[in-house]
Amino acid sequence: MSFTLPKYDLPRIIFGSLAVFSMLLVSLWLLRPFLISLIWAGLVVIATWPVMLRIQQWMGRKRTPAVLVMTLLLIALFMMPLLFMADSMMELSARLSQWLESDKVPLLLSGEFLHQVPFIGAKLYSRWQVMLADHGHSLIAHLQPWLRHAALVLLAQLGHLGQLVINGIMMLALSALLYSNGEKVALALSRFARRLAGTRGDIAVKLAGQTIRAVASGIVVTAVCQSVLGGVGLALCGIPGALLLTLLIFILCLAQLGPIVIMLPATAWLYWQGETGWGTLLLLWSLVAGSMDNILRPFLIRRGAEIPMILILGGVIGGLLAFGMVGLFIGPAVLAVSWRLLVIWVNEPEASVQVVESDAA
């Protein structure tokens, strides 16, 4: 018996693959300015899609009013931190101007308080007097390299902030489009996944959606609860710039550092001001807000998916380094989806072997 091997036109396959690959690369290059915003919008829409459907039911099952409401909610959530930051900066500038006009500035410049520093107070006072004698030129000479580096870092951070605002505006516009055509986009993704991997591809798309919702609810909702609780405690205890500190707490909670980084120095400041009662209250408040994530975050994440917390932390840090502030949202979701799909793919042969063995028995 003779077998006829199929004849393949190898150059045609190679050049056809190169053409398709080149078109994909060019398409990605053209869409490069919008990719981060598109990924961000997709994560937001997937995480909030059940909320949009519920609002649509309240609106008489009309899609357009529901999309308008969701877009306005996203705009409010996006603009609120910026308004908090502006209000807090105005408050801090007013307090700084009042402090500069007070009688404490000459006392501070005289350096008399340095005598109270144990062990090295006298040496610090003498160094301070030498610096005052040459009008601070020696200090400026020593600090000039550090000041130049700090200025470069500040300019870089301002650039990241501007990029965050631009990505946020594009994210809002793309989110409105995805809300309007959510079912069509989901159907297109399912068809594409089925073409790649059959029924496994369709299952992978559904698992990805569940994982994104679980990560969003576990990280973002926990960060919101911790920042709100921490901000209420700071405002109640009379900490200056409570709104700005609340925004910083929210960012730190997204980065998995928790509110303790902000609230413990605020507690120490209250004790230093002689407010022992308020300091003790804020200390207890800090312990409650700081330990909330140990209960709330695992509960919310495990409702949708079993994901190691070390993976979430790696996604937050890696996303922040790779994409800036937007990476706080993108990094954990992408890593969590990849992890869950990998675990299912690894465990699938074992499940199929068990099924075959049970059938044979």
pLDDT digits (tens, 9 = 90+) for 21-66: 898 898 888 888 888 888 888 888 888 888 888 888 888 888 888 8
The first and second tokens of residue 185, run together, are: 């986009």
> In this predicted structure, which of 137-141, 165-169, 348-352 has the lowest mean pLDDT?
348-352
pLDDT of amino acid 349: 62
CA 68 from chain centre, in angstroms, equals: 25
Per-residue confidence (pLDDT) for residue 148, from 0 to 100: 74
Of 339, 340, 46, 79, which Cα lies nearest the Cα of 217? 46
Q: For residues 277 and 46, what is the distance between their CA atoms, to the nearest angstrom?
A: 45
Are residues 230 and 262 in contact, defined by beta-carbon separation less than 8 angstroms?
A: yes
Three-state secondary-structure class, residue 341? helix
- Please check whether residue 17 lies inside any domain of the structure: no
Looking at the structure, tell me whether residues 193 and 342 fall in a common domain.
yes
Q: Are both 286 and 220 inside the same structural domain? A: yes
Res. 262: pLDDT tops 70: yes
What's residue 356's pLDDT?
Answer: 38
Residue 257: inside a domain = yes
Last residue of a domain, one of 180, 197, 216: 180
199 token code pair: 């029924």
User: Is 80 exceeded by the pLDDT of residue 276?
Assistant: yes
- Residue 294 shares a structural domain with residue 199: yes
Q: What pLDDT shows up at residue 112? A: 64
Q: Which of 317, 322, 287 is nearest to 219 (CA)?
A: 317
Residue 16 in any domain: the answer is no
Q: What span, in angstroms and rounded, lies between the C-alpha atoms of 337 and 305?
A: 10
Let me know whether 237 and 340 are in one domain. yes
pLDDT, position 336: 77
Shared-domain flag, residues 243 and 168: no
Q: Tokens 């500035």 sit at which residue?
A: 105
- What is the extent of the structural domain holding 120? 36-180
Task: Single out the residue of 166, 143, 149, 176 nearest to residue 65, CA to CA.
Answer: 176
pLDDT of residue 52: 87
**Number of domains composing the chain:** 2
Q: What is the pLDDT of residue 353?
A: 41
Q: Is the pTM of this model over 0.95?
A: no
pLDDT in tens, 216-250: 777 778 888 888 888 888 888 888 777 778 888 88
Cβ pair 179, 45 in contact under 8 A: yes
| Confidence at residue 106, expressed as pLDDT on a 0 to 100 scale | 59
Looking up tokens 């807000």 gives 289
Q: What is the pLDDT of residue 115?
A: 61
| 140/202 same-domain check | no
Pair 255, 316: CB distance under 8 Å: yes
pLDDT averaged over the chain? 76
Domain boundary among 124, 147, 180: 180
Rounded Cα–Cα distance for residues 217 and 197 (Å) = 29
Q: What is the 3-state secondary structure (H, E, C) of 229-251?
A: HHHHHHHHCCCCCHHHHHHHHHH
Helix, strand or coil, per DSSP, at residue 102: coil
Block residue for tokens 């390299």: 145
Residue position matching structure tokens 């603009």: 79
Residue 94 has pLDDT above 60, yes or no: yes
Instruction: Name the percent of the chain lying above pLDDT 90.
Output: 0
CA distance 95 to 115: 27
Indicate the residue among 180, 204, 220 that finishes a domain.
180
